Chains A and B, each alone.
Chain A
Amino acid sequence: MSSHRITARTPGVFYRRPSPDAEPYVGDGAAVSEGDTIGLIEVMKTYREVKADTTGTVSQWFVENEDEVTIGQDLVELDT
């Protein structure tokens, strides 16, 4: 088994949930498919979905909900 890290393509504020009261897009250990939304990055007053660029299982988060992130920063690791 190998691993893959999804990184931020824009700077901004990272959200794991679509809204403060909602469930996270993906829980710890959850299976995700390529193209699934795994979070949001808010920048310039717009929210952009962060999509999984491969299929796998969440093994580790590198950022907390509402952390500021920079371009290229690791967000989450998937076991593929």
Chain B
Amino acid sequence: MSIVVHDPGLETTVQDTGRLGHYAIGFPPSGALDSYAYHVGNALVGNAPGAAALEAVYLGPTLEFTADSVVAVTGADIPVSLDGEPVPTWESVAVRAGQTLAFGQLAGGARPYVAVAGGIDVPTYYGSRSTYTLVGIGGFGGRALAEGDELSLGDAAVDPRAGRRVEDADIPEHPTTAELRLLVGLHSYRLTPDSLERFTSTAWKVTPDANRVGYRYRGAELEFVPREQPFGAGSDPANVTDCGYPVGSVQVPGGVEPIVLLQDAVTGGGYATLGTVVSVDRDRLAQTKTGDHTRFVPVDLDEALAIRRDRAARLDRVRSSLA
């Protein structure tokens, strides 16, 4: 049982829940950026949580199946076809041996996910099948898919079945202006109060430099409070003594282009961070694309935890409705 890659699309990679537990030696978690779409995809095809799936961006891959299977495409709003015939997304679909899955032009969001019954069977590396291309480990040969690759499928699907469908209310929308909730803090005191206010009042535009490592934005200039730099930090006012970066943290090197660090980012460094996007909203971020706009909406810790609980409850509900 396998999938043959006829067209890899753009930066299509194997991802799962991520490589957790090695942050302290410099391994970012990797894993699916839009965790909701990834988990729902696995539930649709009857996989246990954590099975590896494909994450694509902007362009989907073209994939031929060598055996009968069940697939589900979730995430971005994008037309999908099987041997040229349209098939629905957010729904499990039966595929016969020899059929080819292909994607049309993206209509909304940015990243489609392809879950396949049994999961993509690549070796685990440090406990995960997720691809981390920076050092070339995990996933399929440590890299994005290429034409001619043949992906093995696992046979561990718990209950593969076509025709399962996610309720419309549980399919996220992908507006071209996204709101990302964040906890202001960390080194936010390094920005002037005006700049901090400007950060949360600006509709930031996603630049072309927006990938699994991080998203860069343009839209305003931010200023740092002048100070004599502490020993060890280096001379630039954007610098602090090198420290760990939370996943989802925001930094503004040079004051002009805020960067949100994502699942393949560096784990630490010497730039002042001004806050952290709440974990659930990394899903929304993953569905924004170059040219879209983003607003950062401050929340406090209790709100962030409530958002997290709501998401967990929603995912539980969707999973039971599909079981």
Contact = CB atoms under 8 A, between A and B. Distances in A.
Mutual binders A and B? yes
Interface of A: 7, 9-13, 42-46, 48, 68-72
Contact of B290 (A9, A11, A46): A11
Given A43-B208, A44-B10, A44-B208, A12 B105 contact: no
B105 A44 contact: no
Nearest to A7: B105
Interface in B190-246: 208-211
Given A48-B10, A71-B106, A11 B291 contact: yes
Contacts, number: 44
A42 B207 CA distance: 11
A12 B59 contact: no
Is the contact region of chain B dominated by helix, strand, or loop, or is it mixed?
A: loop
A44 B59 contact: no
A45 B209 contact: yes
Given A43-B58, A44-B57, A44-B209, A68 B290 contact: yes
Nearest to A44: B211
Interface string B283-306: 000000111000000000000000
B214 to A, nearest CB: 11
6 contacts: A11-B291, A43-B10, A44-B57, A44-B209, A68-B290, A70-B291
A55 to B, nearest CB: 21
Contacts of B289: 11, 70-71
Nearest to B289: A11
Contacts of A48: 10
A46 B59 CA distance: 14
Nearest to B106: A71
B11 interface: yes
B211 A12 contact: no
A44 B290 CA distance: 9
A12 B10 contact: no
